Amino acid sequence: MTEEAHSTKGGTLFFDAKKCIHSRNCVLNRPDVFVPNVEGEWIHPERASSDELHAIADNCPSGAIRFVENDKAPKGPLINTLHIRENGPYALKATIQMNGEPENSTNLTLCRCGASKNKPYCDGSHSAMPFISTGEVKTLDSEPLASRNGVVIVKPAKDGPLFLYGNLEVCSGTGRTVNRAEEVHLCRCGHSKNKPYCDGTHAKIGFSSED
């Protein structure tokens, strides 16, 4: 178990090192709470209010940080979104089930380069490759969804794509809506010619995954 728990007066701040992609939002925006380059304890939730801790968690794209307020159930986002990061992962924000099991966080970054050692989650391998793929993909014709939130089910196919089921707005890295759908099949081998969607290339290149 990699998740650390740090209690404060208003609730508990959790940090999961295995999901962290080092976006550095936490240490750049709140270096008093997430103190970089120190020995020993480096997370200090007591230095922020509950509202501020919620904001820190909400700005963590990978879901490595989450805040659970005392006696309050977590709320899902009003709109489920999947952002396609430039030369990087998929950033999903929703009430998420992974293979039928609920995720603790409403934020996840999912590998799309094919090189992560923590599939289906991103582990930053796209930077080392480097992975080159635009986040400004073609806009598809799509109708507004009847409902824009609710549960999104993520099912990684063995040696294949990511299947996502649920109300979802697919967005470019800069926030432009490029698709609205209740089911999408996303490339995660890194080689589709129709990114971000799967085109079957994973079978041709022998893509392998353990999940």
Residue 76 belongs to a domain: no
Average pLDDT over residues 49-62: 94
Residues 62 and 144 grouped into a single domain: no
pLDDT of 211 reads 66
Residue-averaged pLDDT of the chain:
94
Does residue 72 surpass a pLDDT of 90?
A: no
Q: Do 102 and 164 belong to one domain? A: yes
Tens of pLDDT, residue by residue over 12-36, are 999 999 999 999 999 999 999 999 8
Report d(CA 45, CA 12) in Å as an integer: 8
The answer to whether the peptide bond before residue 196 is cis (omega within 30 degrees of 0) is yes
For residues 85 and 173, membership in a common domain is answered with: yes
Two tokens, residue 155: 């099912």
Domain total in the chain: 2
Contact 201, 189 (CB under 8 A): yes
Q: Are residues 146 and 124 in the same domain?
A: yes
Residue (of 146, 134, 211, 147) closest to 178 by Cα position:
134
87 and 11 share one domain: no
